[in-house]
């Protein structure tokens, strides 16, 4: 199947080229964001399984234990609900905990803490309580193919939570910094293909990407693709492909899923009159449904063709590579959808 090799993905994201010219991988940028905030703010600490001496799954917390020690980089038992509860409670005391659930596949074991506590506390106390915590977790397909679930749609459905999914190294750092500084519970989804596969320009020093960001990654006049996470890169791959066919695609990176702001997508669709929504999660009830429904409503008179959704089929996610590759939407699927709406 057509798919862009992670290595080939290489760009700067939301930031202008910095003189420094520093190029980091997605995960390096992510860790730098946590490190900078831990240096700046003593109330920030990290909890998770193997985040300490081991440096985290896929090097997700590399170097933090060495710099900050066991008090601020806490290894936890295999107790996802208690881990998230620990973050909610610590946040209530004014700390700024980052709790790592190793993989998004384990979020179902901590839903009560996330949905019934973290999301409700501020509103239900008429503002007396605040829950400034970050829940980071690895999602999507990846080099090892393990734990590939994408449950972001569940959380985008729950008011009181913020949900972000950066697609570039610069935003991995900038949004992590913003998430840590935000006074609300932020779910931070880290796509595993991006981890070591995406490298880009990352500003040194204080660098904040607003959590409500949506980015136009590539300008084009014919069709808009609104994508999340790794699919942003597949969309860009598809755009390259389609350019050779004379179809100019505009690629929008919906880096913030909740609270959702669709202005950028609307503006783009007013120009292109055509929209493809692309994500790696299951199609039915996926987050793409919300984007499609909202745009179909707000841009009803602008659309020249039905909004198309590119997503995983409605079946459990198989493990073996040939099945996984056939299962997940790829560059070709995105390109095909674009051709369809372009023709339509």
Partner 1 sequence: MATAAPTRINHPAPHAHGRDLLRLMILSRVLEQTCCELNPRWFPAEGEEAAIVGAFYGLRSDDFIAAHYRGPFIAYYLRGADLARLIGQALAKANGYARGRALGFTGPFELGCLPWVAGDLGTSLGVATGVATGYQYEGGDRVVVCSFGDGTSNRGDFHEALNLAAVWKLPIVYVCQNNQYSISLHLSQVLATDTIAARAAGYGMPGVAVDGNDVLAVRAAVEHAVESARAGLGPSLVEAQSYRLSGHWASDPGGYRRDEDVAAWRERDPITRLERQLLEAGEVTRHDLDQLWQDARDEVARAVEVAQAAPSCDAADIGLGEAYAS
CB of 118 to a second copy, least distance (A): 11
81, exposed or middle or buried, with CB in 10 Å at 0-12, 13-18, 19+? middle
Please pick, from the candidates 81, 109, 120, 294, the single residue that binds ligand TPP as defined by CB under 6 A. 109
Interaction with a second copy in 292-331: which residues (CB under 8 A)? 292-294, 296-298, 300, 303, 305-309, 313-316, 318
Query: d(Cα 218, Cα 277) in Å, to the nearest integer?
Result: 15
CB of 215 to partner 1, least distance (A): 22
Of 246, 253, 286, 103, whose CA–CA distance to 172 is shortest? 253
Measured CA distances, 231 to 184, 251, 274 (Å):
27, 10, 18
Q: Which is nearer to partner 1, 219 or 323 (CB)?
A: 323
By CB under 6 A, tell whether 15 contacts ligand TPP.
no
> Looking at 110-221, which runs of residues are DSSP E strands?
134-139, 162-164, 186-191, 199-201, 215-218
By CB under 6 A, tell whether 106 contacts ligand TPP.
yes
Please pick, from the candidates 120, 130, 181, 196, the single residue that binds a second copy as defined by CB under 8 A. 120
Please pick, from the candidates 14, 49, 214, 228, the single residue that binds ligand TPP as defined by CB under 6 A. 49
Binding mask 206-245 for partner 1 (x = CB under 8 A): ----------------------------------------
Binding partner of residue 76 among partner 1, ligand TPP, a second copy, none, CB under 5 to 8 Å per kind? partner 1
Interaction with partner 1 in 124-183: which residues (CB under 8 A)? 124-132, 144, 146-147, 159-160, 162, 183
Stretch in the footprint of partner 1 (CB under 8 A) among 227-235, 236-244, 263-271, 318-326: 318-326
- How would you classify the pairing of strands 256-258 and 162-164? antiparallel
CB of 70 to a second copy, least distance (A): 29
Of 265, 255, 268, whose CA–CA distance to 292 is shortest? 265
Of 24, 18, 289, 27, whose CA–CA distance to 143 is shortest? 27
Please pick, from the candidates 215, 288, 331, 335, the single residue that binds a second copy as defined by CB under 8 A. 288
Binding mask 249-278 for partner 1 (x = CB under 8 A): ----------x-------------------
Q: Which is nearer to ligand TPP, 110 or 167 (CB)?
A: 110
DSSP per residue, 2-59:
----GGG-B--TTSPPPTT--EEEHHHHHHHHHHHHHHH-TTEEEEETT-STT--GGG
Binding partner of residue 86 among ligand TPP, partner 1, a second copy, none, CB under 5 to 8 Å per kind? partner 1
By CB under 6 A, tell whether 117 contacts ligand TPP.
no
By CB under 6 A, tell whether 102 contacts ligand TPP.
yes
Q: Among all chains, which residue has been given the structure tokens 């009803």?
A: 300
**Where on the phi/psi map is residue 237: left (φ > 0), alpha (ψ -120 to 50), or beta?**
alpha
Please pick, from the candidates 82, 92, 115, 243, the single residue that binds a second copy as defined by CB under 8 A. 115
- Is 147 a catalytic site residue? yes
By CB under 8 A, tell whether 76 contacts partner 1.
yes
DSSP per residue, 263-329:
HHHHHHHHHHS-EEEEEEEESTTSHHHHHHHHHHHHTTTT-SSPPEEEEE-SS----SHHHHHHHS-
Q: Which is nearer to a second copy, 7 or 116 (CB)?
A: 116
Q: Work out whether the CA dihedral 183, 186, 192, 198 comes out positive or negative.
A: negative
Question: Which active-site residues does the annotation give?
Answer: 147
């Amino acid at each position: 199947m057509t798919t862009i090799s992670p290595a080939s993905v290489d760009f700067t994201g939301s930031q202008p080229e910095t003189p420094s010219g520093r190029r980091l991988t997605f995960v390096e940028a992510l860790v730098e964001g946590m490190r900078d905030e831990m240096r700046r703010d003593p109330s920030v600490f990290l909890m998770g399984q193997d985040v300490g001496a081991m440096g985290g799954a896929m090097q997700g917390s590399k170097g933090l234990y060495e710099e900050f020690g066991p008090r601020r980089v806490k290894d936890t038992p295999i107790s996802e609900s208690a881990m998230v509860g620990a973050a909610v409670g610590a946040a209530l005391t004014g700390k700024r905990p980052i709790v790592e659930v190793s993989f998004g596949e384990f979020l179902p074991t901590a839903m009560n803490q996330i949905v019934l506590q973290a999301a409700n506390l501020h509103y239900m106390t008429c503002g007396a309580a605040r829950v400034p915590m970050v829940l980071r977790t690895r999602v999507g397909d990846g080099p090892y193919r393990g734990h590939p679930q994408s449950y972001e749609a569940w959380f985008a459905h729950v008011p009181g939570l913020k949900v972000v999914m950066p697609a570039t190294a610069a935003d991995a750092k900038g949004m992590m910094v913003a998430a840590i500084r935000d006074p609300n519970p932020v779910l931070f989804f880290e796509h595993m293909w991006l981890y070591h596969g995406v490298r880009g320009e990352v500003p040194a020093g204080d660098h904040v990407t607003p959590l409500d960001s949506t980015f136009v990654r590539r300008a084009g006049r014919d069709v808009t693709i609104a994508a999340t996470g790794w699919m942003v890169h597949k969309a860009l791959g598809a755009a390259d492909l389609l350019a050779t066919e004379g179809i100019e695609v505009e690629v929008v990176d919906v880096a913030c899923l909740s609270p959702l702001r669709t202005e950028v997508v609307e503006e783009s669709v007013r120009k292109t009159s055509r929209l493809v929504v692309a994500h790696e999660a299951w199609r039915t009830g996926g987050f793409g449904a919300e984007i499609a429904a909202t745009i179909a409503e707000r841009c009803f008179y602008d659309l020249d063709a039905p909004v198309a959704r590119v997503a995983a089929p409605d079946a459990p996610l198989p493990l073996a590579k040939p099945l996984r590759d056939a299962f997940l939407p790829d560059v070709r699927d995105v390109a095909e959808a674009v051709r369809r709406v372009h023709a339509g």
